[in-house]
Amino acid sequence: MTDKYTQLVNQGLGRNVAKKLGLPQPAILRRYQPGQPLISGPVLVQGTTPGADTLAAALLAWDLDVRRHAVPRERLGAIILVLDDVAHPGELERPILSVASSLRDLAPSGRFLTVSRPVTDDVTPAEAAARQGVDGFLRSLAMELRAGATGNGILLGDAVETTSPSTLAAVRFLLSGRSAYVDGQFLTVTSPDGQLPADFDRPLAGKVAVVTGAARGIGAAIARTLHRDGATLVLVDIPAAGDHLAGVANELHGTALQLDISRDDAGQRIIDHAVQRHGRLNIVIHNAGITRDKLLANMDHTRWSSVINVNIAAQLRINEALLASDHFASSPRIVSVASTSGIAGNRGQTNYAASKAGVMGMVRAAAPLLAERGGTINAVAPGFIETDMTARVPLVLREAGRRLNSLRQGGQPADVAEAIAFLASDAAGGINGGVLRVCGQYMVGA
Residue 402's pLDDT is 83
Residue 295 within a domain = yes
Residue 274's pLDDT is 97
Task: Say which amino acid occupies 94.
Answer: R
Number of domains forming the structure of the chain: 2
Residue 311 belongs to domain spanning: 208-438
Looking at the structure, do residues 226 and 101 belong to the same domain, yes or no?
Answer: no
| Cα–Cα dist 258/241, whole Å | 8
Residue 271 within a domain = yes
| Cα–Cα dist 359/310, whole Å | 11
Looking at the structure, do residues 184 and 308 belong to the same domain, yes or no?
Answer: no
pTM: 0.95
Task: Say which amino acid occupies 227.
Answer: H
Looking at the structure, do residues 381 and 233 belong to the same domain, yes or no?
Answer: yes
Residue 20 within a domain = no
Residue 444's pLDDT is 61
Contact 288, 318 (CB under 8 A): no
Give the distance, in angstroms, between the CA of residue 37 and the centroid of all CA atoms in the same chain. 20
Contact 111, 175 (CB under 8 A): yes
Residue 4 within a domain = no
Neighbours of 296 (CB within 10 A): 11
Regions of the chain short of the pLDDT cut 70:
1, 18, 444-446
Residue 397 within a domain = yes
How many residues in total does the chain contain? 446
Strand partners, 381: 437
Residue 298's pLDDT is 95
Residue at a domain's end among 157, 189, 221: 189
Residue 14 within a domain = no
| Cα–Cα dist 258/270, whole Å | 10
Residue at a domain's end among 160, 189, 218: 189
Contact 119, 155 (CB under 8 A): no
Looking at the structure, do residues 313 and 418 belong to the same domain, yes or no?
Answer: yes
| Cα–Cα dist 409/181, whole Å | 9
Residue at a domain's end among 189, 217, 242: 189
Looking at the structure, do residues 249 and 389 belong to the same domain, yes or no?
Answer: yes
Q: In what order do the strands lie in the sheet with 255-258?
A: 255-258, 232-237, 208-212, 283-286, 333-337, 376-382, 435-438
CATH number of the domain within which 375 lies: 3.40.50.720
Residue 26 within a domain = no
Contact 73, 105 (CB under 8 A): yes
Residue 7's pLDDT is 79
Number of H helices, E strands in the chain: 16, 13
Looking at the structure, do residues 239 and 111 belong to the same domain, yes or no?
Answer: no
Residue 445 within a domain = no
Question: In 3D, which of 305, 302, 282 has the Cα closest to residue 426?
Answer: 282
Give the model confidence (pLDDT) of 273-296 as tens digits: 999 999 999 999 999 999 999 999
Query: Does residue 32 have an active-site annotation?
Result: no
Give the model confidence (pLDDT) of 100-134 as tens digits: 999 999 999 999 999 999 999 999 999 999 999 99
Beta strands in 84-207 (DSSP E): 106-116, 150-156, 186-189
What are the φ/ψ torsions at residue 93 (nearest 5 degrees)? -60, -50
Looking at the structure, do residues 123 and 267 belong to the same domain, yes or no?
Answer: no
Looking at the structure, do residues 148 and 224 belong to the same domain, yes or no?
Answer: no
Looking at the structure, do residues 407 and 264 belong to the same domain, yes or no?
Answer: yes
Beta strands in 157-305 (DSSP E): 186-189, 208-212, 232-237, 255-258, 283-286
**Burial profile 424-441: b = 16 or more Cβ within 10 angstroms, e = fewer:** bbbbbbbbbbbbbbbbbb
Strand-pair category, 106-116 with 208-212: unpaired
Looking at the structure, do residues 264 and 412 belong to the same domain, yes or no?
Answer: yes
Looking at the structure, do residues 284 and 330 belong to the same domain, yes or no?
Answer: yes
| Cα–Cα dist 86/229, whole Å | 37
The dihedral built from the CA positions of residue 106, 110, 112 and 113, taken in this order, carries a sign that is: negative
Catalytic residue among 5, 32, 352, 442: 352
Looking at the structure, do residues 128 and 71 belong to the same domain, yes or no?
Answer: yes
